[in-house]
Amino acid sequence: MRRFIEKSVEKVLMASGAITSLTILLIVVFLFRQGAGLFRNSVVEENYSLAVNKTNPVEKLTPEEIKNIFDREIVNWAQVGGLNEDISVFRLNDITSYVSEEALGEEMQFLSHHLSEIVDTHPHIIAFIPNEYIRKDFKGKVLDVGKITPSDFFAGKEWFPTAQPAPLFGLLPLLLGTLWVSFAAILFALPFGLAVAIYLAELASTRTRAVLKPVIELLAGIPSVIYGFFGLVVVVPLIQKTFDLPVGETALAGSVILAVMAMPTIITIAEDAIRTVPRATKEASLALGASQMQTIFKVILPYCVSGIMAAVVLGIGRAVGETMAVLMVTGNSAIIPTTLLEPVRTIPATIAAELGEAPTGGAHYEALFMLGVILFLITLFISILIEIISAKQIKQQQ
Amino acid sequence: MSIISTKNVDFYYGDFHALKGISMEIEPNTVTAFIGPSGCGKSTFLRLMNRMNDLIDHTRMTGEILIEGQNIYDKTVRVDELRTKVGMVFQKPNPFPKSIYENVAYGLRVNGIKDKDLITHTVEESLRNAALWNEVKDKLKKSAFELSGGQQQRLCIARALAIKPRILLMDEPASALDPLSTSKIEDLIFTLKNDYTIVIVTHNMQQAARVSDKTAFFYLGELVEFDDTQQIFLKPKIEATQNYITGRFG
């Protein structure tokens, strides 16, 4: 009987391990599958096409060019490799300025005929029209815009998922926003965190430590939305006033909040690392007439440098994935940041903010999953880095 | 004139009375061995001589320890200066995670010496004195961790010698080493005696007999017998010493 129970417990443990691994694998596969779907989407909106006059030499337009043409930022065909002529833009609801409503017929039955005529008679036109109105006898030239390419995504400098006719899914502003905010956060958090870790591990009395340590650990338990709230009410106005900015919601505000949030992680890991320095090594330094400070900076810190690196990387990991607090204080404008005093938008904040309004299965939706994939790859890379560092640390201690 | 002189030293770890009224005189340029069973207080006593026990919380000492006539527990004494005069080699080799060269140079650097030629010269001299120079002269920039245990311990001795102490305290310096490395360390102690006063804690009777001029036997926090090594090992005056040396307890 006992044997039987032990056997079944063993099976249950094995099964839970297997189920957990499978679930994680499934999530990853799902993420990648959805994300990869982005590259099966056409550059222009689904079921729409771009058409030009047959005489127009332009054959291909990039998503950016399309957006700029329809935003009237590109106004001459010469700018996109065509003739030196002004571009006239045509959207379906412009139809009434070309033909009267009566001519279209009661049920719009003549619409496709007129569209064909308009494109044919206006040599410099570009028309954004639904595929259903493009008949076989269409007299214009339908542009081959192709599918969204990986380079549109990975090297794209603009994130404009709701732009018509061609939404832009450029990763760079979001990726740079994320890295920018995270690294600045670590830059703030590292000196303070390290100082606290050194103090806790080497200088604090047992009693101070007994008070300080739980407080710091409590810091890690505060929900991130509270940090965001604090940032919005305290940090953002402070930054706005100090730097005399139009808005205080900047990368700087995000990094300050993230620094505070990453601090407990950095302190705890770094303190543990400092504590692994053997007593004998410290004593060897002191026995040579070194002061306590000399011992800390010349022996203890070099000894546990890989542990401190692990703390930093883990802190970055925490910062990269943080969503809520960052969403609340960074201003969320998807532009490539040049200074810390500009609003930025991070990958997790983008996913959180946009997933609700992106139509399921559409290009926007899949682009958000692709962002998820990128985020996953970043954190995966960070975990691998931690593994390598701690493996090195263990080797060093042997 | 003795270089180390202790008067009625009592030492407590919290409530535990670890050393009881130890008085001892140590002559310059001698090797003194402390022997006794584990927990008898010999290492504690050794660590009082460079105030290493200051680092341990909840400890208390009474009595006096004079080094070259100065009470080292006097409030005016600077501990880091004292430790440059009284060097220490530990039980396990404990090199710093630095190059061989930097390990030896460390003591000089933390004591404010910046002259590169002087440092290089002292590093070589110390490594020669520690009988390690020939083995490491081609890899001074390599990490100290690449050396064998015995080499690491000699590196630690070189490191202690570099700051030119008057006294060298050795806390079971060969206990973690193989017989060959041990004998190298013992030869080294024998030559170092000319320039330094050495106090060595050891569990190894033969080692004490081989290297020391004087031997002190500690038992339960008391100094039972302190005499010339020959006397202690051939004709101890006290029965407990006799019993310990012959291996009847301990």
Domain holding A320, by residue range, is 172-397
The partner residue sitting opposite A299, judged by closest CB among B90, B96, B111, is B96
Residues A130 and A249 in one domain: no
Of A146, A162, A192, which one is at a domain's C-terminal end? A146
**Interchain pair A206, B81: CB under 8 A:** no
pLDDT tens-digit profile of B141-169? Answer: 999 999 998 899 999 999 999 999 999 99
Q: Which of A130, A211, A167, A202 is nearest to A38 (CA)?
A: A167
Q: Give all domains of chain B, ordered by start, each with its CATH number.
A: 4-245 (3.40.50.300)
Same domain for A179 and A140, yes or no, is no
Q: H or E stretch including A34?
A: helix A2-36
CATH number where A361 lies: 1.10.3720.10
Residues A244 and A314 in one domain: yes
Summarised one tens digit per residue, pLDDT across range A148-187 is 888 889 988 889 888 878 888 999 999 999 998 999 999 9
A165 inside domain: no
Tokens of A90: 């045509």
Residues A279, A323 share a domain:
yes
* Domains: count for chain A: 2
Judged by CB atoms closer than 8 Å, whether chains meet at A280 and B81 is answered as no
| Interface probe, candidates B96, B111, B164, chain A, greatest A C-beta count within 10 A | B96
A73 plus A117 within the same structural domain: yes
**In this structure, what DSSP letter does residue B213 have?**
S
Residues of B whose CB is below 8 A from A294: 110
In a domain? residue A18: no
- Chain B positions touching A206 (Cβ under 8 A) are 57
Nearest chain A residue (CA) to B164? A288
Q: Based on the fold, state whether residues A135 and A178 are members of the same structural domain.
A: no
Q: Does residue A54 form part of some domain? A: yes
A116/A187 same-domain check: no
Q: How far apart are CA B98 and CA A284, in angstroms?
A: 13
- For residues A240 and A95, state if they share a domain: no
Query: Which of A90, A111, A146 is the last residue before a domain boundary?
Result: A146
CATH of the domain at A80: 3.40.190.10
Reported confidence tier of residue B52, pLDDT bands at 50, 70, 90: very high
In tens, the pLDDT along A232-290 reads 999 999 999 999 988 889 999 999 999 999 999 999 999 999 999 988 899 999 999 99
B179-192 and B149-162 are packed helices; what angle lies between their axes, rounded to 10 degrees?
Answer: 20
The b/e string for A296-326 (b: 16+ C-beta within 10 A; e otherwise) is bebbbbebbbbbbbbbbbbbbbbbbbbbbbb
Same domain? A232 vs A355: yes
For residue A281, give how far its alpha carbon lies from the nearest alpha carbon of chain B (Å): 6
Query: For residue range A309-357, what is the model confidence (pLDDT) as tens digits?
Result: 888 888 888 888 888 889 999 988 888 888 888 899 999 999 999 998 8
Q: Residue A388 falls within a domain, yes or no?
A: yes
Residues 6+ away with beta carbon under 8 Å from B30: B193, B197, B198, B213, B214
Q: Is residue A312 part of a domain?
A: yes
Report the chain B residue with the minimal C-alpha distance to residue A304.
Answer: B97
CB A369 within 8 A of CB A31: yes
Give the chain B residue whose CA is nearest to the CA of A288: B107
A20, A387, B81, B92, B170 from B167: Cα distances, Å: 63, 45, 13, 19, 10
What proportions of chain A, in percent to the nearest 5, are helix, strand and coil?
Answer: 65, 5, 30
Distances (CA, A) of A378 to A137, A186, A324, A384: 50, 16, 18, 10
**Residue A238 CA: distances (Å) to CA of A219, A232, A245, A248, B50:** 22, 10, 10, 8, 53
Q: Which positions in chain B touch A284 (Cβ < 8 Å)?
A: 88, 90, 94-96, 156, 159
